[in-house]
């Protein structure tokens, strides 16, 4: 598998999984950027990768259609929080 993804974050991928990441540079140009970067710097390390998926709040992936939704990771999370 490949190993990369460098822009602001250098990421190591092995066997399709992110195994290491390193923040290369964080822009602090304007207040909104600061606010976002204070929180949105990716946390992509071995510890998180090996964590149980129960800790995942939401899912980003290639577009899920309404037909594929029922089997999706997001659907399982949704079911736990519908009221």
Tell me if 27 contacts other proteins by CB under 8 A: yes
CA 43, CA 27: separation in Å to the nearest integer? 17
- The HSE-up count of residue 78 (CA atoms within 13 Å, CB side) is 8
Total residues at interface with other proteins (CB under 8 A) = 59
User: 3-state DSSP call for residue 70?
Assistant: helix
Cα–Cα distance for residue pair 77/42, rounded to 1 Å: 21
Q: Does 22 bind other proteins (CB under 8 A)?
A: no
Least separation in angstroms between residue 64's CB and other proteins is: 5
Query: If binding is defined by CB under 8 A, does position 41 make contact with other proteins?
Result: yes
Distance (Å, whole) CA 27 – CA 39 = 13
**Applying CB under 8 A, which residues contact other proteins?**
1-2, 4-9, 11, 13, 15-18, 21, 25, 27, 29, 32-33, 35-44, 48-49, 51, 53, 55-66, 68-69, 71-75, 77-78, 80-83
């Amino acid at each position: 598998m490949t190993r990369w993804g460098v822009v602001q974050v250098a990421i190591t991928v092995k066997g399709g999984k992110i195994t290491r990441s390193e923040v290369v540079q964080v822009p602090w140009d304007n207040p909104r950027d600061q606010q976002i970067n204070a929180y949105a710097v990716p946390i992509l390390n071995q510890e998180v990768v090996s964590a149980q998926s129960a800790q995942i709040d939401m899912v980003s992936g290639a577009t899920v259609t309404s037909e594929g939704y029922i089997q999706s990771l997001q659907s399982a999370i949704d079911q736990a929080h519908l009221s």
